[in-house]
Chain A
Amino acid sequence: MSGSDHLHVVTSDEIGEGLKRLGRFLVWGTAGLLALVALAQTAQALGWRDFGFTTWRPTLYAYCLWATALCWSQVIIRGEQGKRTLFVLPAALFVISLTVFPLLFGLTIAFSSWNLSSPTGRSFNGLANLRQMWTDPFYWNALGNMVWYVLAIIVEYAIAFGLALLLNAQIRARKFFRVAFLLPLMLSPVAVSWMIGKSMLEARFGPISRLARWLGVENPAFFETPWMAKATIMVLDAWTFIPFMMIMLLAGLQAIPKELTEAAKVDGARGWKAFWEVTFPLMLPVSVTAILIRIIFKLKLADIVINITSGGPGGATDTVTSFIFREYRERSNVGYGTMLAMVYLVLIVIFMTVLMKWAGRYTRPRT
């Protein structure tokens, strides 16, 4: 750095070899300490030798020491450049600590047989959990159900778009309707499950069932047959989340420059043609974003299923998450449950990557 650029120089970058050696010593010294402590704790955990550790905290402390030394050494070794690194390094280390380590820990559990009731505790079982998953009809059934649940988003999108168009138009009490349509989104899914799923839709006394009977339906039961139950769950979930898509689409509609729609009008585009040729293409980026976020929400669907049907009848409404919940909570099957969650995570990542790649084509501006 030039000596005339005093404004940006805080310390001199002429770092002596001694200082550099100190920096390197700090990093490698603490790294060595971390490795030593971790090794000793692992040896104790594996029963090779007892070092008197009662918890894994010494390793954690050694890691913190190493992380601090790493940050400090950046400044010692690299001076000004190191300070710039210091703006990002602690955050990066923090993120790594909170994502990579738990992920590794999760993977270790996923490849283990770990039933909390087992007196022998956790034991590595290789690919056994994967093999069990491969032949588990409950998991595949839940995955199959997820396909249907995700497909329902197409209908949700159409309804949300329609509502957004309505609320974007010059209608009376527009502000009231905007708030009113948002209300379902503000409700807890658990409250929706009990108020609507378990009370209003109750086959004998529920007001909706009574209405259906009054309209001539002999035996209104909304969760009795597999497809009816699936459809009802879809409707309940849609009712909660359509407002979310609607509000995103409404924001998109309001961002469309007035000149464009007015120019289209001047050119003679009216009604459906104006929507299909002008509004819809302009809304594609927002639509794709809204749909992708909705898919992520949908893939986590569990609360209303757990509360209303427990996955029934006969697994017809089961979701992957509600099934994993049962494996964990009711069966304390931590190893297998974690493997199911990991596989689901990988499936979601692949599915979303492909989807985003595909959607990218439609979100690029047309030339």
Chain B
Amino acid sequence: MKVEHYNALMARMSRRRMLQGATALGAMAAMPMTARIASAQDNLRAQILAIPGVGAGSPTDAHWQQVGELCLGATKANVAEGEFAGVELTFMGLNNQNLHNFLFRGFLKPWEAYTGAKINWIDLAQADYNSRLQQSIATGTVDFDIIEMGAPFEGDTAGRGLLDEMPDWVEAQIEADDLVGYLKPPVGTWNGKKYRITIDGDCHTFAYRKDYFGEGAIGGPEVPKTWQEVNAVSKALVGKTDPLTGLPAHGYLDPLKGWGGFGFYFICNRAAAYVKHPDDRAWLFDPDTMKPRVNNPGWVQAIQDVMDLIATPGAYPADQINADPGTTAFSQFLAGTGSMLMWWGDVGSSARTSDTSVVGDVVGFGINPGSTRRYNSAAGAWEETANEAPVMAYIGWGIYVTNRVSGDEKKRKAAWSAAAHLGGKDLSLWTAAYPSGFQPYRNSHFNYAEWEAAGYDRAYVEDYLGSNADSYNHPNAAIEPRIPGIFQYYSVAEDELAKGFAGQYKSAQETADAIAAAWEKITDQIGRDSQIALYKASLGM
């Protein structure tokens, strides 16, 4: 669970709830032996959820080791004690918020003790991650056996044959069937081969202000369900007063400034509703030619929608041209400016716990707004059919094994065993429930009763997890291409969009054409044929 989520839940949890959780756990401990054996799995899950106990402060290394020890069962079934004696592995991952690698160290310590293997660690700050990885690949100096990596980088690694294929026993050990829909293949696969052990999920969800919508509310009786409605409400709110702050009311908060490539996800939210056709997995490029689709009528409509709001005085707060996603979420929405926002899961929970948040309990969640019509790329025409497409922005973290171990069967098994331990079903419940930097990503994480038994506030958990679950399992989820240099495309698009939004291009079409031209250049530079092949592979075509 991301730290912010955990804090939010803690803020919401009453003492009574905590006692309920403790009672439930106590009752489990007091169960007869036969019943305990029968529900060993449930017992284990309840047991790890009690480390250190919901509301008992932030977990420490000792707790991580405890959880790692308790979850060793699956490893023991596949690996004999001391089997990897003398094996040394290098693990490259992040050190964000003192989580990620710090947790992995704790989880893997009992694994090291049992198997006899030793792990050396390469800790990276998020900002250094991309360049470190790209340089390692470009200069042929991959010096790690196991890597924590986001799916968008699969093109750079799996696409170049740098990863080791996942053995079948690993897939069975991690119970991969339990993954939510969109994280199942083709995510994590290349040319039909599996490479990824998922440990996280990502998606953008819709956050809105409940006090803007409802009978007699300034935003209208209903929460907007489509981008057409979002724009209409945003325009209609001009001149009205925010019910909470008494300042001018605003509608949807588009980030108009780039964010190192990550800002592009936000125009994707609007565009996906128009261009992500249920019959077509591709929505950014044509998979046969890598011709960008970013200047087709659907994308142009999305850009035009933003330009329409820019051209409507008062629709956006002042200086929106300099608002990046960090600003829209934390300086605007949480501070009471604006009524609608798309973001990762952090926003809803921060709304209830952050000291700077004034929106408190008036925040609600939903999935990415849809559209009343959609553009069919194959037919080259609009279809007057409603469409919905939540964007799985960044797809979440995974653990991968590099081909450095491929030639040594003992080392290879050790690397995969360590990775499988981190991606285990039970251990993942703990990372979903406690501060870990990871969001829920398995169907079993949405078993609300389990959370409630552990002492969580069910209503809030359902609210918080519900919008994620709906997005994850949406049949028309928009998943980004996992091709080399994907963030280069996003970054250059941000530059061109910034020019378009500043009025330097004559129209949305011209802006979109400039992005398409820049994307063509990148594709040519990286290599069109290889990009086509990798794009198709990433789409499972």
**Is residue A203 within 8 Å, beta carbon to beta carbon, of the partner chain?**
yes
Q: Are A312 and B319 in contact (CB under 8 A)?
A: no
A residues in contact with B492, CB < 8 Å: 331
B residues in contact with A313, CB < 8 Å: 257, 321-322, 498, 501-502
User: In terms of DSSP, what is the predominant structure of the interface of chain B?
Assistant: helix
Q: Are B318 and A118 in contact (CB under 8 A)?
A: no
CB distance from A104 to the nearest CB of B (A): 19
**Is residue A121 within 8 Å, beta carbon to beta carbon, of the partner chain?**
yes
A residues in contact with B337, CB < 8 Å: 204
Q: Are B134 and A117 in contact (CB under 8 A)?
A: yes
CB distance from B514 to the nearest CB of A (A): 9
Q: Find A310's partner among B138, B258, B318, B530 (CB 8 Å cutoff).
A: B258
Interface segment out of the listed A220-228, A249-257, A259-267, A339-347: A220-228
Candidate in A119, A132, A309, A329 with the most chain B CB atoms within 10 angstroms: A119
B residues in contact with A289, CB < 8 Å: none
Q: A314-B502, A315-B499 are in contact. Are A333 and B318 (CB under 8 A)?
A: no
CB distance from B382 to the nearest CB of A (A): 30
Q: Interface code A200-244, partner B: CB below 8 Å = 1, 0 otherwise?
A: 001111000000000000011111101001000000000000000
Q: Which residue of the partner chain A has the closest CB to B134? A: A116
A333 to B260 alpha-carbon distance, docked (Å): 14
CB distance from B332 to the nearest CB of A (A): 8
CB distance from A139 to the nearest CB of B (A): 12
Within 8 A of A (CB), among B257-301: 257-258, 260-261
**Is residue A316 within 8 Å, beta carbon to beta carbon, of the partner chain?**
yes
A203 to B321 alpha-carbon distance, docked (Å): 11
Within 8 A of A (CB), among B320-343: 321-322, 324, 331-332, 335, 337
**Is residue B473 within 8 Å, beta carbon to beta carbon, of the partner chain?**
no
A residues in contact with B159, CB < 8 Å: 119
User: In terms of DSSP, what is the predominant structure of the interface of chain A?
Assistant: loop
Q: Are B502 and A326 in contact (CB under 8 A)?
A: no
A291 to B495 alpha-carbon distance, docked (Å): 33
Q: Are B498 and A219 in contact (CB under 8 A)?
A: no
B residues in contact with A132, CB < 8 Å: 521
**Is residue B410 within 8 Å, beta carbon to beta carbon, of the partner chain?**
no
A residues in contact with B135, CB < 8 Å: 116
**Is residue A17 within 8 Å, beta carbon to beta carbon, of the partner chain?**
no
**Is residue A120 within 8 Å, beta carbon to beta carbon, of the partner chain?**
yes
A316 to B503 alpha-carbon distance, docked (Å): 12
Q: How large is the interface on A (under 10, 10 to 19, 20 to 34, 35 or more residues)?
A: 35 or more
A residues in contact with B148, CB < 8 Å: none
Q: Are B488 and A332 in contact (CB under 8 A)?
A: yes
Q: Which residue of the partner chain B has the closest CB to A226? A: B502
CB distance from B244 to the nearest CB of A (A): 14
**Is residue B526 within 8 Å, beta carbon to beta carbon, of the partner chain?**
yes
Candidate in B135, B498, B501 with the most chain A CB atoms within 10 angstroms: B498
Q: Are A330 and B487 in contact (CB under 8 A)?
A: yes
Q: A138-B495, A309-B322, A310-B257 are in contact. Are A116 and B137 (CB under 8 A)?
A: yes
Q: Are A223 and B319 in contact (CB under 8 A)?
A: yes
Q: Find B491's partner among A119, A120, A309, A330 (CB 8 Å cutoff).
A: A330
Q: Are B134 and A332 in contact (CB under 8 A)?
A: yes
Q: Are A219 and B502 in contact (CB under 8 A)?
A: no
A223 to B319 alpha-carbon distance, docked (Å): 7
Q: Interface code B470-506, partner A: CB below 8 Å = 1, 0 otherwise?
A: 0000000000000011011001100100111111100
Q: Are B527 and A120 in contact (CB under 8 A)?
A: yes
A residues in contact with B322, CB < 8 Å: 203, 221, 223-224, 229, 308-309, 312-313
Candidate in A220, A315, A333 with the most chain B CB atoms within 10 angstroms: A333
Q: A226-B502, A312-B257 are in contact. Are A331 and B522 (CB under 8 A)?
A: yes
**Is residue B34 within 8 Å, beta carbon to beta carbon, of the partner chain?**
no
CB distance from B319 to the nearest CB of A (A): 4
Q: Which residue of the partner chain B has the closest CB to A332? A: B134
Q: Find B318's partner among A221, A314, A329 (CB 8 Å cutoff).
A: A221
**Is residue B76 within 8 Å, beta carbon to beta carbon, of the partner chain?**
no
**Is residue A113 within 8 Å, beta carbon to beta carbon, of the partner chain?**
yes
CB distance from B256 to the nearest CB of A (A): 8
Q: Which residue of the partner chain B has the closest CB to A199? A: B331
Q: Are B498 and A115 in contact (CB under 8 A)?
A: no
A132 to B522 alpha-carbon distance, docked (Å): 12
CB distance from B383 to the nearest CB of A (A): 34
Q: Are A326 and B319 in contact (CB under 8 A)?
A: no
Q: Interface code B309-323, partner A: CB below 8 Å = 1, 0 otherwise?
A: 000000001110110
**Is residue B160 within 8 Å, beta carbon to beta carbon, of the partner chain?**
yes
B residues in contact with A120, CB < 8 Å: 527, 530
Q: A116-B137, A121-B138, A315-B498 are in contact. Are A224 and B318 (CB under 8 A)?
A: yes
A residues in contact with B156, CB < 8 Å: 117
Q: Interface code B122-137, partner A: CB below 8 Å = 1, 0 otherwise?
A: 0000000001001101
Q: Are A204 and B525 in contact (CB under 8 A)?
A: no
Q: A223-B322, A309-B322 are in contact. Are A118 and B484 (CB under 8 A)?
A: yes
CB distance from A300 to the nearest CB of B (A): 21
Q: A310-B258, A313-B502 are in contact. Are A202 and B138 (CB under 8 A)?
A: no
Q: List 28 A-B contacts (CB under 8 A).
A: A116-B134, A116-B137, A116-B138, A116-B485, A118-B484, A118-B526, A118-B527, A119-B160, A119-B484, A138-B495, A204-B318, A204-B332, A205-B331, A220-B318, A223-B322, A224-B321, A229-B322, A310-B498, A312-B257, A312-B258, A313-B321, A314-B321, A314-B498, A314-B503, A316-B502, A332-B131, A332-B138, A333-B488
Residues of A at under 8 Å CB distance from B? 113, 115-121, 132, 138, 202-205, 219-224, 226, 229, 308-316, 326, 329-333
Given A313-B502, A314-B503, 6 new contacts (CB under 8 A)? A117-B155, A118-B484, A204-B335, A314-B499, A315-B504, A331-B488
The 9 residue pairs across chains A and B that have the minimum distance between CB atoms: A314-B502, A117-B485, A203-B319, A330-B491, A221-B319, A117-B484, A116-B134, A331-B488, A116-B138
